[in-house]
Structure 1
Amino acid sequence: MTATIGFLYPGHSAEDDYPDFQERLGGDVALRVVHTLMREDAHRVDALLDIGGADVLAEGARALRAANVDAAVWACTSGSFVFGRDGARAQVEGVRAAAGAPASSTSFAFVNALAHLGVGRVAVAATYPQDVAERFAGFLGDSGVEVVALAERGIVTAAEVGTLTTADVLDFVAAGDVPAAEAVLVPDTALHTAGVLETLEERTGKPVLTANQVSVWEGLRLAGVTGPRSGLGTLLRSGVPSDLAQVRT
């Protein structure tokens, strides 16, 4: 039986990561992407609050309900953590109600994935401007995760992030790592990473969690698809908790 996982994805930048993940996951999982409204492509707090607005997400979630998905993920890290934990939780509740399926977001997916791996100290390699990157670090801190290093690239638009080459990604992530970090987090769903996860981990020598990767893992978790998957980094190789209550938003 095929599990169908729906992703609400703002605009257009790295949505082709999801067909790539689907192919690598195998034939028992279908990943469905619904594009949500992006009035302005900007990693700026006011624009991100609009991107993650309840009306925008509800419209997309209703499309996922029509597709009869088994789980729904708001696949935008910055468009969730800028609301803080309470606001991001309210987003998830709205998506869950409109989609008629278990739901989460990329921001909570990072927290849940770290809990699953037993990781408490991380380095963050963010493509965002500094103020937005600091908000992600704050969200992690409020969730009990210690950020021991924070690097930001200062890119304003998701469209530009989507054009970064494999070499750019490898160099930026490696440069953001520090010895004290148990894992490196790369929090932008506009970044293509499906094909470089194993190389990133070889380069850093530790788990690397990227936004699209944790979004997919969270969708598998919510849909009850628990088996380990190879070729997609430590997180997917470790499988998904069968007790869904042990990690949650």
Structure 2
Amino acid sequence: MSDTTIRRVAIVTGGSRGIGREVAERLAADGQAVVIAYAHNKSEADDTVAQITSTGGSAMAVQADVADEENVAALFDTAEQAFGGVDVVVNAAGIMLLGTVADFDLDALDLMHRTNIRGTFVVDQQAARRVRSGGAIINFSTTVTKLALPTYAAYAATKGAVDTISLILARELRGRDITVNAVAPGPTATELFLDGKDQETIDRLAKMNPLERLGTPGDIAEVVSFLAGPGRWINGQTLYANGGTA
């Protein structure tokens, strides 16, 4: 498919690994040109691009700090120059640092705030200005905002902010035919999630939902694909993609 015939163009932040990579590959399979924004993992981002292009898709990788407004503006510039515009923006970039409120490192809190809150806000700001009519903005939240698990307060607080940004932005874009939603995964079998957990912990988390398994990145990508394409009547919502965990 040539660039001139591509109907939709997606930017996926955090698209070099984990759920973000699965989302990028799924949107490419749906026929969208994908611009993968990565912070540090150039080799993994390039590998994702190679995987997409090897199956006939269109993709490119761009390094960007999501919390830096100049980096993000340049990211959108690149997408527009390469593919003609932007229709879908998926904010999959994020970090998770855990600890009790009493003992949490405040520098870690600031770091997580910068990526998860400021990063979402900066990307959404450009998206609000530049996404074309008929487009979709999809942010990433978490089911932990409902589960209220100990040690997750700082992380859940950043994602509670994402829920609020998403709802209000959806209302601010009245009349533009652009949807804004957040996807809130439950425990999902990514490398990041599984790292450092023993089998007993993994099994316990898997059985928290009635389906009695962990989610997969593909499960989450399917939800994003729906919101990025046919799901035009869902707007201003946080969708809990967690198998019924909460």
Please indicate, yes or no, whether the TM-score normalized by the shorter chain is above 0.5.
no
Specify the structure having the higher radius of gyration (Cα): 2
TM-score (norm 1): 0.44
